[in-house]
Amino acid sequence: MSQTRHLLSALALSLCATSPALAATEFRGGGFLTSFSGCGGWGSRESVLVRYQPAGAPENHATRSRVSMFHHSGAFNYSFDFAPGDYPELGEWFTVSTTKVFGSGYTIDGVSLRLLESSPIEAIAAGATAIFLAFEVSNFDGLTGCTARGRVALALD
């Protein structure tokens, strides 16, 4: 019996030690979304908090990047698959998988992003631990024709 308890304790410790949430390479920060156009009830600007797990970074997925954006009353998660070296050019639109949690959680189709001004991949590869990102989003919140732009400041957690 004692051996079983020790075994279970050891297993629990090993699970804690290998928790993906603890091991991921993650950038955290915040910024804003603004210039909403054709977006129904979305207003002039939104302050947001952001978590970003870039693909290919230590302990992260090899090709899938994840971005979570927390608004005051809900959140979006955007994810996209690109092998390192195969990322879209700056200004080039790319489709993202989107999940929304505002009261209830569900997926949204048709959302696209594009990065402007600078590439986080190049900055991170060069060793940057703090970065600024400028971006635009199309069909924001699944609203066809809705566009917005944003800017965030992030640092390695």
The pattern of x and - marking residues 37 through 56 that bind other proteins according to CB under 8 A reads --------x-xxxxx-----
Of 59 and 109, CB closest to other proteins: 59
The pattern of x and - marking residues 9 through 38 that bind other proteins according to CB under 8 A reads ------------------xxxxxx-x----
What single-letter amino acid sits at 136? Answer: E
Number of residues near other proteins (by CB under 8 A): 23
Least Cβ distance, residue 151 to other proteins (angstroms): 4
| E-strand stretches of the chain | 27-37, 45-53, 64-70, 75-81, 94-95, 97-102, 104-108, 112-116, 130-138, 147-156
- Residue 46 contacts by C-beta under 8 Å, 6 or more apart in sequence? 32, 33, 34, 71, 72
Least Cβ distance, residue 51 to other proteins (angstroms): 8
Of 34 and 95, CB closest to other proteins: 34
Q: Are 149 and 134 in contact (CB under 8 A)?
A: yes
Query: Would you count residue 153 as binding other proteins (CB under 8 A)?
Result: yes
Q: Which residue has the tokens 């156009």?
A: 37
Least Cβ distance, residue 24 to other proteins (angstroms): 12
Of 95 and 123, CB closest to other proteins: 123
Q: Which residues are at the interface with other proteins (CB under 8 A)?
A: 27-32, 34, 45, 47-51, 129-130, 132, 151-157
